[in-house]
């Protein structure tokens, strides 16, 4: 069966500008159906939209699929039977689904069921998945595969997605083949029904003439003996660098540069279903943030020619500039001269009637370009119990120009307002409104050089 799944994930969604995250590559492979006898059910759409050329093309494709499985399992013999313990069945569906054969090794029975199909009725994918699951459960092989073919959207029966999910939960591997028919085709639904990853388990035929080739490729994939001489070349985005490579569960890893590594395995899934993972740590080294792809490319190859596509995970990088325009109050220095026994300091007066509140605000100014100062105004307004408004303070701040290579967000910290208590109660709830305004002060601010 070759490579049955491939994945690439990162361990977090967001990091700081020089943050580190872990990247994990994963592969699963399974042996061919000679070493690993398999129960296979063809689930074939015979709804009304299949009338004519689509149904004829489906029959050719399904018969080719049966021939390839028979030839691979019976060593090319002419016995008319599937070999190596593999069994197949046929389920077809329109307004309802039916089991056209039992699980059998008879090529004649399988082809007879396929060739007897006639088109008509609605499209009930839910019943098709249910009948195919029941048929597979009568088989005796541990590996079970369902090949769903359809040319349209669901128009009858229960929602198919939960029923397909139940089949996958039982260990059934679901492949989906779609034909772009007269009623349209919901590719996202096929992706939802099929076993992950979609790149391996979903194929779309633009025209009926493409169906036979797709069925043939799928049958050939099921007969591949796992994978040998695997090579995965991973190159991360230049904004990242590889900091550490953790030992893989199988194979060896070589680091070619600070952005590139090569993972090699002699074999995977040759004698049984087998998985392997590789994890490595990358650090963001650019001074610009945003949503970024972690990898630039992943190249896969093996002796069997398996087609493997890895996902392309992203991470949000925060490279905000932090400005604190208001430092904490400077303490008053008190000096005690020598030989002075005591010092009297007038620290002012404060009464409970003057107790106030301090509001501390943080404001983010978006997309500030380098070498440009910004004028930021903050207005604090209090809203009374009758929605009357009173201005409590206005602050205008100059935000220094940053020297980064691109525009970025600037976080202005600790904009403080002191608001006295002027009501009857010292602890009553109070409602405020904050308004902010920001404008560039200049277009190319550069500090004057020192004069010597």
Alpha-carbon 282 to chain mean position:
18
Intervals of the chain under pLDDT 70: 1, 75-78, 181-183, 321-330, 332, 347-355, 422-427, 443-452
- Residue 18: the pLDDT is 87
State residue 148's pLDDT score. Answer: 96
pLDDT of residue 274: 84
Burial classification of residue 202, based on how many CB atoms lie within 10 Å of its CB (0-12 exposed, 13-18 middle, 19 or more buried): buried
- Look at residue 378 and give its three-state secondary structure: strand
Evaluate whether 232 touches 302 at the Cβ level (below 8 Å).
Answer: no
Pairing outcome for strands 38-45 and 87-93: parallel
pLDDT at 367: 87
Q: Find the Cα–Cα–Cα–Cα dihedral 108, 113, 116, 119, rounded to 10°.
A: -150
Q: What confidence score (pLDDT) does residue 355 get?
A: 63
179 C-beta neighbours (distance < 10 Å), count: 24
DSSP 189: H
Burial of 323 (0-12, 13-18, 19+ CB in 10 A): buried
Helix or strand run (H / E) with residue 23? strand 20-30
pLDDT computed for residue 169 by the predictor? 94
- Distance, in Å, from the CA atom of 23 to the CA atom of 19, rounded to the nearest integer, reads 13
Distance between CA 345 and CA 361 in Å, rounded?
Answer: 33
Count of beta carbons in the 10 Å neighbourhood of residue 90: 27
Q: How far is it, in rounded angstroms, from Cα 169 to Cα 162?
A: 10
C-alpha–C-alpha distance, residues 329 and 408, integer Å: 29
Residue 32: per-residue pLDDT: 73
Cα gap 243→22, rounded to integer Å: 10
Size (the chain), residues: 452
What is the number of other CB atoms lying within 10 angstroms of the CB of residue 439?
Answer: 9
The alpha carbons of the chain give a radius of gyration, in whole angstroms, of 34
Structure tokens at 144: 């079970």
One-character DSSP codes across 321-353: EEE--SPPPPPPP----TT------------GG
Cα first-last separation, the chain: 77
Look at residue 242 in the predicted model and tell me its pLDDT: 96
Tell me which long-range contacts 104-108 makes (C-beta under 8 A, separation of at least 24). 105/81, 106/80, 106/81, 106/82, 107/66, 107/67, 107/70, 107/80, 107/81, 107/82, 108/80
Q: Which domains does the chain have, with CATH numbers?
A: 2-31+226-318 (2.60.40.680), 38-222 (3.40.50.410), 320-327+355-421+428-445 (2.60.40.3930)
Residues 267/324, Cβ–Cβ less than 8 Å: no
């Amino acid at each position: 069966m070759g490579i049955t799944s491939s994945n690439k994930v990162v361990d977090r969604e967001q990091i700081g500008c020089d943050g580190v995250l872990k990247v994990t590559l994963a592969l699963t492979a399974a042996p061919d159906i000679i070493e690993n006898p398999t129960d296979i059910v063809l689930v074939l759409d015979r709804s009304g939209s299949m009338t004519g050329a689509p149904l004829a093309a489906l029959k050719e494709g399904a018969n080719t699929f049966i021939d390839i499985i028979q030839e691979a399992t019976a060593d090319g013999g002419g016995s008319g039977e599937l070999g190596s313990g593999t069994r197949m069945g046929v389920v077809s569906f329109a307004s309802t689904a039916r089991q056209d054969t039992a699980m059998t090794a008879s090529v004649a029975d399988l082809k007879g069921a396929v060739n007897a199909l006639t088109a008509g009725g609605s499209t009930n994918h839910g019943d098709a998945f249910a009948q195919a699951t029941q048929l597979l459960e009568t088989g005796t092989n541990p590996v079970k595969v369902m090949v769903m073919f359809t040319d349209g959207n669901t128009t009858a029966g229960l929602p198919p997605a939960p029923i397909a999910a139940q089949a996958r939960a039982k260990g059934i591997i679901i492949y989906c083949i779609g034909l772009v028919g007269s009623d349209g085709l919901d590719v996202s639904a096929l992706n939802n029904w099929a076993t992950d990853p979609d790149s391996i388990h979903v194929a779309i035929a633009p025209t009926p003439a493409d169906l036979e080739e797709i069925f043939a490729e799928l049958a050939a994939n099921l007969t591949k003996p796992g994978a040998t001489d695997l090579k995965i070349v991973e190159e991360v985005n230049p904004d990242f660098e590889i900091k550490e490579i953790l030992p893989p569960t199988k194979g060896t890893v070589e680091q070619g540069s600070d952005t590139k590594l090569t993972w090699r395995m002699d074999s995977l899934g040759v004698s049984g279903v087998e998985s392997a993972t590789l994890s490595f740590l990358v650090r963001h080294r650019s001074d610009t943030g945003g949503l970024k792809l972690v990898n630039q490319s992943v190249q896969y190859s093996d002796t069997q020619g398996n087609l493997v596509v890895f996902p392309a995970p992203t991470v949000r990088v925060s490279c905000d500039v932090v400005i604190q325009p208001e430092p904490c109050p400077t303490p008053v220095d008190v000096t005690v001269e020598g030989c002075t026994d005591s010092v009297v300091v007038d620290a002012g007066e404060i009464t409970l009637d003057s107790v106030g509140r301090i509001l501390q605000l943080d404001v983010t100014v978006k997309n500030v370009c380098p070498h440009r100062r910004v004028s930021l105004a903050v207005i604090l307004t209090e809203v009374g119990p009758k929605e009357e408004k009173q201005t409590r303070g206005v602050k205008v701040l100059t935000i220094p120009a940053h020297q980064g290579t691109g525009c970025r967000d600037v976080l202005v910290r600790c904009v403080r307002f002191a608001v006295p208590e002027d009501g009857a109660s010292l602890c009553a709830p109070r409602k405020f409104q904050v308004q902010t305004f920001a404008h560039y002060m200049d277009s190319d601010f550069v500090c004057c050089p020192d004069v010597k």
